[in-house]
Amino acid sequence: MSARDTTCKTASMKTISTEPMYNKENLAKLKKMDSLAPEVMKAFWAFDKAAVADGAIPVKYKELIAVAVALTTQCPYCIDIHSGNARKAGATDAEMVEAAMIAAALRAGAAVTHATHALPN
């Protein structure tokens, strides 16, 4: 398979795509989604905007929270968008790393506490 191929054959000879799952070009499809489900998408965009708007929690902190959540959910689109928004809101490298460490601690903590389910009573 050459570097330019975007499909390959599996052992059962089924053709599958080898294009990356996460490609920023996919975000252009959001406009299509807007037209296919206009009321729902309009509500989503309004909610999304309101959720990160300045309020009791300043925008910078909301975006740092969003970065930590994005790292936890491992969404590359969200990581890119919210890390950029956090930086625009004044987040420093140190704040970004601390947000990442909070996300890492929570993921590790979840694994530790879920391990209790593997032990007999």
Domain with 62 in it: 30-116
User: CA-to-CA distance for 18 and 26, rounded, in angstroms?
Assistant: 15
Domain count, the chain: 1
92 lies in a domain?
yes
- Contacting residues for 55 by C-beta, under 8 A, at least 6 apart: 62
Please give the pLDDT value at position 72: 95
Cβ 69 vs Cβ 51: under 8 Å = no
Which pLDDT score is estimated for 74?
93
Count CB atoms within 10 A of the CB of residue 86: 24
State the CATH number of the domain containing residue 63: 1.20.1290.10
56 lies in some domain: yes
Q: Which amino acid is at 48?
A: D
pTM comes to 0.78
Strand runs labelled E in 1-121: 7-9, 15-17
6 domain residue, yes or no = no
Is 83 a domain residue?
Answer: yes
The one-digit pLDDT tens for each residue of the chain (121 residues) are 444 455 566 667 777 666 777 888 889 999 999 999 999 999 999 999 999 999 999 999 999 999 999 999 999 999 999 999 999 999 999 999 999 999 999 999 999 999 999 999 9
| Residue 62 belongs to a domain | yes
**14 assigned to some structural domain:** no
